Structure 1
Amino acid sequence: MADTKTLEDLKDLAQGGETAAAEGTLPEPKIDAQGRSYATGRRKNAIARVWIKPGSGKVTVNGREFEDYFARPVLRMVINQPFGVTDRKDQFDVVCTVSGGGLSGQAGAVRHGISRALTLFEPALRGSLKAGGFLTRDSRAVERKKYGRAKARRSFQFSKR
Protein backbone atom coordinates (compact mmCIF):
# COMPACT_ATOMS: atom_id res chain seq x y z
CA MET A 1 0.00 0.00 0.00
CA ALA A 2 3.00 2.23 -0.24
CA ASP A 3 2.22 3.23 -3.86
CA THR A 4 -1.34 4.63 -3.75
CA LYS A 5 -2.64 6.80 -6.58
CA THR A 6 -4.65 9.97 -6.09
CA LEU A 7 -7.25 11.42 -8.39
CA GLU A 8 -4.74 13.97 -9.66
CA ASP A 9 -2.42 11.16 -10.81
CA LEU A 10 -5.27 9.50 -12.69
CA LYS A 11 -6.34 12.70 -14.50
CA ASP A 12 -3.23 12.83 -16.64
CA LEU A 13 -3.81 9.18 -17.57
CA ALA A 14 -7.30 10.03 -18.81
CA GLN A 15 -6.01 13.00 -20.79
CA GLY A 16 -3.32 10.85 -22.36
CA GLY A 17 -5.96 8.35 -23.45
CA GLU A 18 -8.05 11.06 -25.09
CA THR A 19 -5.12 12.40 -27.08
CA ALA A 20 -4.18 8.90 -28.17
CA ALA A 21 -7.72 8.34 -29.40
CA ALA A 22 -7.63 11.66 -31.26
CA GLU A 23 -4.28 10.74 -32.82
CA GLY A 24 -5.66 7.35 -33.92
CA THR A 25 -6.65 8.65 -37.34
CA LEU A 26 -8.50 6.60 -39.90
CA PRO A 27 -6.54 4.04 -41.90
CA GLU A 28 -5.35 4.92 -45.38
CA PRO A 29 -7.76 4.15 -48.24
CA LYS A 30 -6.78 1.08 -50.26
CA ILE A 31 -7.13 2.09 -53.90
CA ASP A 32 -5.36 0.37 -56.80
CA ALA A 33 -3.70 1.95 -59.84
CA GLN A 34 -7.04 2.12 -61.73
CA GLY A 35 -8.67 4.02 -58.83
CA ARG A 36 -10.69 1.03 -57.62
CA SER A 37 -11.17 -0.69 -54.28
CA TYR A 38 -11.60 -4.46 -54.19
CA ALA A 39 -13.39 -6.64 -51.64
CA THR A 40 -14.89 -10.10 -51.38
CA GLY A 41 -18.43 -10.65 -50.11
CA ARG A 42 -19.94 -13.95 -48.99
CA ARG A 43 -23.44 -15.18 -48.18
CA LYS A 44 -24.65 -18.81 -47.97
CA ASN A 45 -22.70 -20.56 -50.77
CA ALA A 46 -22.30 -17.43 -52.92
CA ILE A 47 -19.02 -15.56 -53.29
CA ALA A 48 -18.84 -12.11 -54.88
CA ARG A 49 -15.69 -10.31 -56.03
CA VAL A 50 -16.49 -6.59 -56.03
CA TRP A 51 -14.60 -3.60 -57.46
CA ILE A 52 -15.89 -0.07 -56.86
CA LYS A 53 -14.67 3.22 -58.33
CA PRO A 54 -16.12 6.73 -58.49
CA GLY A 55 -18.65 7.02 -61.29
CA SER A 56 -22.30 7.43 -62.20
CA GLY A 57 -23.81 4.57 -60.19
CA LYS A 58 -23.65 1.84 -62.86
CA VAL A 59 -23.69 -1.71 -61.46
CA THR A 60 -22.47 -4.63 -63.58
CA VAL A 61 -22.83 -8.23 -62.41
CA ASN A 62 -21.04 -11.00 -64.35
CA GLY A 63 -20.81 -8.73 -67.40
CA ARG A 64 -24.57 -8.06 -67.42
CA GLU A 65 -26.61 -5.07 -66.31
CA PHE A 66 -27.63 -5.21 -62.68
CA GLU A 67 -31.37 -4.91 -63.56
CA ASP A 68 -31.13 -7.88 -65.95
CA TYR A 69 -29.23 -10.14 -63.56
CA PHE A 70 -31.32 -9.40 -60.46
CA ALA A 71 -34.85 -9.14 -61.87
CA ARG A 72 -36.60 -9.02 -58.48
CA PRO A 73 -36.86 -5.49 -57.02
CA VAL A 74 -36.15 -6.81 -53.50
CA LEU A 75 -32.75 -8.11 -54.56
CA ARG A 76 -31.90 -4.79 -56.21
CA MET A 77 -32.94 -2.98 -53.03
CA VAL A 78 -30.68 -5.27 -50.96
CA ILE A 79 -27.70 -4.44 -53.17
CA ASN A 80 -28.32 -0.67 -53.00
CA GLN A 81 -28.66 -0.60 -49.19
CA PRO A 82 -24.99 0.26 -48.42
CA PHE A 83 -25.15 3.25 -50.77
CA GLY A 84 -28.40 4.46 -49.19
CA VAL A 85 -27.05 4.27 -45.64
CA THR A 86 -23.88 6.17 -46.52
CA ASP A 87 -25.60 8.74 -48.81
CA ARG A 88 -23.43 7.69 -51.75
CA LYS A 89 -26.20 6.81 -54.22
CA ASP A 90 -25.10 7.13 -57.89
CA GLN A 91 -21.54 8.08 -56.89
CA PHE A 92 -19.79 4.74 -57.45
CA ASP A 93 -19.61 2.30 -60.35
CA VAL A 94 -19.65 -1.33 -59.26
CA VAL A 95 -18.23 -4.25 -61.24
CA CYS A 96 -18.64 -7.67 -59.66
CA THR A 97 -18.44 -11.34 -60.46
CA VAL A 98 -20.61 -13.72 -58.47
CA SER A 99 -20.52 -17.50 -58.31
CA GLY A 100 -22.29 -20.17 -56.30
CA GLY A 101 -25.59 -20.21 -54.46
CA GLY A 102 -28.91 -18.82 -55.65
CA LEU A 103 -29.96 -15.31 -56.53
CA SER A 104 -30.82 -14.33 -52.94
CA GLY A 105 -27.46 -15.50 -51.62
CA GLN A 106 -25.68 -13.80 -54.50
CA ALA A 107 -27.43 -10.50 -53.78
CA GLY A 108 -26.38 -10.77 -50.13
CA ALA A 109 -22.81 -11.52 -51.18
CA VAL A 110 -22.71 -8.49 -53.48
CA ARG A 111 -24.07 -6.29 -50.68
CA HIS A 112 -21.40 -7.58 -48.31
CA GLY A 113 -18.69 -7.00 -50.92
CA ILE A 114 -19.89 -3.47 -51.70
CA SER A 115 -19.91 -2.60 -47.99
CA ARG A 116 -16.38 -3.89 -47.48
CA ALA A 117 -15.12 -2.15 -50.62
CA LEU A 118 -16.71 1.14 -49.50
CA THR A 119 -14.85 0.95 -46.17
CA LEU A 120 -11.59 0.39 -48.02
CA PHE A 121 -12.28 3.28 -50.40
CA GLU A 122 -13.57 5.68 -47.68
CA PRO A 123 -12.62 4.49 -44.17
CA ALA A 124 -14.84 7.19 -42.60
CA LEU A 125 -17.93 5.23 -43.75
CA ARG A 126 -17.08 2.23 -41.57
CA GLY A 127 -19.13 3.44 -38.59
CA SER A 128 -22.42 3.85 -40.44
CA LEU A 129 -21.97 0.57 -42.36
CA LYS A 130 -21.10 -1.33 -39.18
CA ALA A 131 -24.11 0.14 -37.35
CA GLY A 132 -26.33 -1.03 -40.21
CA GLY A 133 -24.87 -4.55 -39.95
CA PHE A 134 -23.52 -4.57 -43.50
CA LEU A 135 -19.96 -5.54 -42.60
CA THR A 136 -20.94 -8.68 -40.71
CA ARG A 137 -20.74 -11.83 -42.79
CA ASP A 138 -24.12 -13.57 -42.43
CA SER A 139 -22.91 -17.08 -41.63
CA ARG A 140 -26.31 -18.78 -41.86
CA ALA A 141 -26.22 -21.58 -44.39
CA VAL A 142 -28.21 -24.72 -45.13
CA GLU A 143 -27.68 -27.41 -42.52
CA ARG A 144 -26.13 -30.59 -43.86
CA LYS A 145 -28.02 -33.85 -44.13
CA LYS A 146 -27.20 -36.47 -41.48
CA TYR A 147 -27.10 -40.21 -41.96
CA GLY A 148 -30.10 -42.07 -40.56
CA ARG A 149 -32.30 -39.05 -41.30
CA ALA A 150 -34.47 -38.13 -44.28
CA LYS A 151 -33.16 -34.56 -44.30
CA ALA A 152 -31.05 -32.52 -41.88
CA ARG A 153 -33.44 -33.11 -38.98
CA ARG A 154 -36.48 -34.91 -40.32
CA SER A 155 -36.66 -38.58 -39.41
CA PHE A 156 -37.89 -41.33 -41.68
CA GLN A 157 -41.59 -42.14 -41.23
CA PHE A 158 -42.17 -44.51 -38.33
CA SER A 159 -43.85 -47.79 -39.20
CA LYS A 160 -45.15 -49.96 -36.37
CA ARG A 161 -45.54 -52.99 -38.67
Structure 2
Amino acid sequence: MSEEARSLDDLKVVMKTADAVQVEAETAPVEPQIDALGRAYATGKRKNAIARVWIKRGSGKITVNGRDQETYFARPVLRMLLQQPLECAERVNEFDVIATVKGGGLSGQAGAVRHGISKALTAFEPGLRGVLKAGGFMTRDSRVVERKKYGRAKARRSFQFSKR
Protein backbone atom coordinates (compact mmCIF):
# COMPACT_ATOMS: atom_id res chain seq x y z
CA MET A 1 0.00 0.00 0.00
CA SER A 2 2.83 2.36 0.75
CA GLU A 3 4.09 1.59 -2.77
CA GLU A 4 0.79 2.85 -4.27
CA ALA A 5 0.72 5.92 -2.06
CA ARG A 6 4.21 6.79 -3.17
CA SER A 7 3.32 6.41 -6.85
CA LEU A 8 0.17 8.55 -6.44
CA ASP A 9 2.15 11.24 -4.65
CA ASP A 10 4.74 11.10 -7.39
CA LEU A 11 1.96 11.41 -9.97
CA LYS A 12 0.58 14.51 -8.22
CA VAL A 13 4.03 16.11 -8.19
CA VAL A 14 4.51 15.37 -11.89
CA MET A 15 1.06 16.79 -12.72
CA LYS A 16 1.73 20.00 -10.76
CA THR A 17 5.04 20.59 -12.52
CA ALA A 18 3.44 19.89 -15.91
CA ASP A 19 0.69 22.45 -15.14
CA ALA A 20 3.30 25.01 -14.08
CA VAL A 21 5.25 24.50 -17.32
CA GLN A 22 2.04 24.86 -19.36
CA VAL A 23 1.09 28.12 -17.57
CA GLU A 24 4.58 29.52 -18.18
CA ALA A 25 4.33 28.62 -21.88
CA GLU A 26 0.95 30.39 -22.20
CA THR A 27 2.11 33.57 -20.45
CA ALA A 28 5.54 33.71 -22.08
CA PRO A 29 6.08 37.17 -23.58
CA VAL A 30 5.90 37.35 -27.37
CA GLU A 31 9.10 38.53 -28.98
CA PRO A 32 8.95 41.70 -31.10
CA GLN A 33 9.52 41.11 -34.82
CA ILE A 34 11.94 43.86 -35.82
CA ASP A 35 14.30 43.65 -38.80
CA ALA A 36 17.95 44.76 -39.00
CA LEU A 37 16.90 48.33 -39.87
CA GLY A 38 14.73 48.64 -36.74
CA ARG A 39 11.43 48.30 -38.61
CA ALA A 40 8.36 46.15 -38.07
CA TYR A 41 6.36 44.98 -41.10
CA ALA A 42 2.71 44.06 -41.56
CA THR A 43 0.13 43.69 -44.33
CA GLY A 44 -3.26 45.33 -43.99
CA LYS A 45 -6.33 44.66 -46.11
CA ARG A 46 -9.70 46.34 -46.67
CA LYS A 47 -12.11 45.78 -49.58
CA ASN A 48 -9.82 45.26 -52.60
CA ALA A 49 -6.93 47.33 -51.20
CA ILE A 50 -3.75 45.75 -49.87
CA ALA A 51 -1.26 47.83 -47.88
CA ARG A 52 2.31 46.90 -47.00
CA VAL A 53 3.29 48.87 -43.89
CA TRP A 54 6.64 49.38 -42.19
CA ILE A 55 6.95 51.28 -38.91
CA LYS A 56 10.06 52.45 -37.09
CA ARG A 57 10.86 54.84 -34.30
CA GLY A 58 10.76 58.42 -35.48
CA SER A 59 8.93 61.73 -35.42
CA GLY A 60 5.46 60.59 -36.52
CA LYS A 61 5.75 61.12 -40.28
CA ILE A 62 3.36 59.02 -42.38
CA THR A 63 4.29 58.35 -46.01
CA VAL A 64 1.93 56.57 -48.40
CA ASN A 65 3.20 55.47 -51.84
CA GLY A 66 6.12 57.91 -51.59
CA ARG A 67 3.89 60.91 -50.84
CA ASP A 68 3.00 62.61 -47.57
CA GLN A 69 -0.33 61.56 -46.04
CA GLU A 70 -1.80 65.08 -46.54
CA THR A 71 -1.29 64.89 -50.30
CA TYR A 72 -2.27 61.25 -50.76
CA PHE A 73 -5.35 61.30 -48.50
CA ALA A 74 -6.79 64.78 -49.07
CA ARG A 75 -9.92 64.18 -46.97
CA PRO A 76 -9.42 64.75 -43.22
CA VAL A 77 -11.57 61.71 -42.39
CA LEU A 78 -9.14 59.40 -44.17
CA ARG A 79 -6.15 60.94 -42.37
CA MET A 80 -8.02 60.52 -39.08
CA LEU A 81 -8.40 56.79 -39.87
CA LEU A 82 -4.61 56.45 -40.12
CA GLN A 83 -4.09 58.12 -36.73
CA GLN A 84 -6.64 56.00 -34.82
CA PRO A 85 -4.41 53.01 -33.93
CA LEU A 86 -1.57 55.30 -32.87
CA GLU A 87 -3.90 57.40 -30.68
CA CYS A 88 -5.46 54.29 -29.14
CA ALA A 89 -2.00 52.92 -28.27
CA GLU A 90 -0.85 56.40 -27.11
CA ARG A 91 2.07 56.33 -29.55
CA VAL A 92 1.33 59.49 -31.57
CA ASN A 93 4.51 61.11 -33.01
CA GLU A 94 6.66 58.16 -31.87
CA PHE A 95 6.69 56.11 -35.08
CA ASP A 96 7.39 56.85 -38.72
CA VAL A 97 5.06 54.93 -41.03
CA ILE A 98 5.97 53.98 -44.59
CA ALA A 99 3.16 52.34 -46.56
CA THR A 100 2.68 51.16 -50.10
CA VAL A 101 -0.92 50.46 -51.03
CA LYS A 102 -2.51 49.00 -54.17
CA GLY A 103 -6.04 48.35 -55.34
CA GLY A 104 -9.44 49.69 -54.35
CA GLY A 105 -10.39 53.29 -53.81
CA LEU A 106 -9.14 55.86 -51.32
CA SER A 107 -11.50 54.76 -48.54
CA GLY A 108 -10.47 51.12 -48.85
CA GLN A 109 -6.81 52.10 -49.05
CA ALA A 110 -7.07 54.17 -45.86
CA GLY A 111 -8.70 51.24 -44.08
CA ALA A 112 -5.98 48.89 -45.33
CA VAL A 113 -3.22 51.21 -44.10
CA ARG A 114 -4.97 51.49 -40.71
CA HIS A 115 -5.15 47.70 -40.44
CA GLY A 116 -1.47 47.43 -41.43
CA ILE A 117 -0.40 50.05 -38.87
CA SER A 118 -2.24 48.15 -36.14
CA LYS A 119 -0.61 44.85 -37.06
CA ALA A 120 2.83 46.45 -37.37
CA LEU A 121 2.44 48.07 -33.94
CA THR A 122 1.75 44.67 -32.40
CA ALA A 123 4.80 43.26 -34.19
CA PHE A 124 6.92 46.12 -32.79
CA GLU A 125 5.39 46.09 -29.28
CA PRO A 126 3.45 42.85 -28.60
CA GLY A 127 2.07 44.33 -25.36
CA LEU A 128 -0.15 46.68 -27.38
CA ARG A 129 -2.19 43.83 -28.87
CA GLY A 130 -4.87 43.89 -26.16
CA VAL A 131 -5.45 47.63 -26.46
CA LEU A 132 -5.63 47.56 -30.26
CA LYS A 133 -7.85 44.47 -30.31
CA ALA A 134 -10.26 46.09 -27.84
CA GLY A 135 -10.38 49.14 -30.12
CA GLY A 136 -11.32 46.90 -33.07
CA PHE A 137 -8.23 47.68 -35.14
CA MET A 138 -6.85 44.14 -35.40
CA THR A 139 -9.91 42.72 -37.16
CA ARG A 140 -9.86 42.78 -40.94
CA ASP A 141 -13.05 44.31 -42.27
CA SER A 142 -13.91 41.63 -44.81
CA ARG A 143 -16.84 43.37 -46.50
CA VAL A 144 -16.28 43.45 -50.25
CA VAL A 145 -18.49 44.38 -53.20
CA GLU A 146 -20.79 41.56 -54.24
CA ARG A 147 -20.34 40.35 -57.80
CA LYS A 148 -22.88 40.99 -60.54
CA LYS A 149 -25.04 37.98 -61.44
CA TYR A 150 -26.28 37.11 -64.92
CA GLY A 151 -29.92 37.93 -65.57
CA ARG A 152 -29.69 40.86 -63.15
CA ALA A 153 -29.04 44.56 -63.65
CA LYS A 154 -26.57 44.65 -60.74
CA ALA A 155 -25.67 42.19 -57.99
CA ARG A 156 -29.26 41.89 -56.77
CA ARG A 157 -31.37 44.43 -58.67
CA SER A 158 -33.63 42.98 -61.37
CA PHE A 159 -34.29 44.56 -64.72
CA GLN A 160 -37.38 46.76 -64.85
CA PHE A 161 -40.55 44.68 -65.17
CA SER A 162 -42.87 45.51 -68.05
CA LYS A 163 -46.44 44.32 -67.67
CA ARG A 164 -47.32 44.92 -71.35
TM, length-normalised to structure 1:
0.87
Change (3 A) 1:45 1:21: same
Show the counterpart of 2:61.
58
- Tell me which residue corresponds to 2:157: 154
Alignment correspondent of 1:121:
124
Measure the CA separation in 1 of the matches of 2:20 and 2:138: 27
Letter in 2 for 1:64: R
Aligned 1:12-161 pairs, distance under 5 A = 16=19, 20=23, 24-161=27-164
> Percent of aligned positions with the same letter in both sequences?
72
Structure showing greater radius of gyration is 2
Which deviations, in whole Å up to 9, do the C-alpha atoms of 1:94-142 show, x marking residues without a partner?
Answer: 0010110000000000000000000000000000000111010100011
The 3 A distance-change label for structure 1 pair 23 and 144 is closer
What one-letter code is carried by the residue in structure 2 that aligns with 1:102? Answer: G
Alpha-carbon distance in structure 2 between the residues aligned to 1:101 and 1:23: 39
Question: 1: CA distance between counterparts of 2:86 and 2:20?
Answer: 34
Structure 1 residue runs of 5 or longer lacking an equivalent are 1-8
Divergent runs of 4+, >2 A: 16-19
Relative distance call for 1:152 and 1:137 in structure 2 (3 A) is same
SS of alignment partner, residue 135 of structure 1:
coil
Q: Which amino acid aligns with 2:67?
A: R
- Superposed CA offset, 1:69-96 (max 9, x none): 0010100000100000000000000001
Q: What SS does structure 1 have at the residue aligned with 2:111?
A: helix
Distance 1:72 1:80 in 2: 13
Give the CA deviation at 1:19. 7.9
Once residues 99 and 22 of structure 1 are traced to their aligned partners in structure 2, the CA distance between those partners, rounded to angstroms, is 39
Gaps of 5+ in 2: 1-11
Shift of 1:26: 2.0
Higher relative helix content: 2
Q: Which amino acid aligns with 1:99?
A: K
> Counterpart of 2:98 in 1: which secondary structure?
strand
